[in-house]
């Protein structure tokens, strides 16, 4: 009897996950819940912690848990995810050590102008120090963002 092995095509998985997404990097020394509270108030979002989406990475016999918050826009099919990029001394995306948080927009409703407007709105949030649009093609560890 032969054993059938299935192999996950990680490249296709990454491509499918990041299709129709925009990724924003945010630098802030605030805690994730403080920053999300400010963003919720100023941008009329509704980010909430989703423990089912929490990302766990294991390194050096230790586990690191990265919080993911989410909200879904009620008027269109867009989902927003807010990742904490650091936990203790480890990073979800080690190549982006100066970025504390990541905001991913999933859905085809947002165009480049909409994202640019969102970046401008984020820049005036009091706890935000830096905001930049990230190119997912240049991120080496983007597999860590997949939940």
| Nearest one of 54, 52, 35 to 126, comparing CA atoms | 35
Domain boundaries, the chain: 20-145
- The conformation of residue 3, written as its DSSP 8-state character, comes to P
**DSSP secondary structure string, 82-104?**
EEE-EETTEESSGGGTT--EEEE
Q: What is the pTM of this model?
A: 0.88
Using DSSP bridges, classify how beta strands 101-106 and 90-91 pair: parallel, antiparallel or unpaired.
unpaired
pLDDT (tens, 9 = 90+) of the chain, 147 residues, equals 677 776 666 787 778 888 899 999 999 999 999 999 999 999 999 999 999 999 999 888 899 999 999 999 988 889 999 999 998 889 999 999 999 999 999 998 888 899 999 999 999 999 999 999 999 889 999 888 987
Angle, helices 32-43/112-123, rounded to nearest 10 degrees: 110
């Amino acid at each position: 009897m032969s054993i059938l092995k299935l192999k996950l095509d990680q490249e296709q998985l990454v491509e499918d996950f990041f299709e129709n997404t925009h990724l924003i990097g945010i630098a802030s020394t605030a805690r994730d819940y403080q920053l999300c509270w400010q963003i919720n108030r100023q941008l009329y979002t509704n980010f909430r912690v989703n423990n089912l989406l929490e990302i766990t990475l294991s390194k050096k016999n230790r586990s690191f848990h990265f919080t993911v918050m989410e909200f879904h826009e009620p008027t269109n099919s867009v989902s927003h995810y807010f990742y904490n990029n650091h936990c203790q001394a480890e990073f979800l995306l080690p190549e982006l050590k100066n970025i504390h948080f990541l905001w991913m927009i999933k859905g085809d409703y947002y165009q480049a102008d909409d994202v640019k407007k969102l970046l401008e709105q984020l820049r005036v949030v009091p706890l935000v120090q830096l905001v930049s649009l990230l190119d997912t093609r240049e991120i080496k560890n983007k597999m860590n963002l997949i939940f």
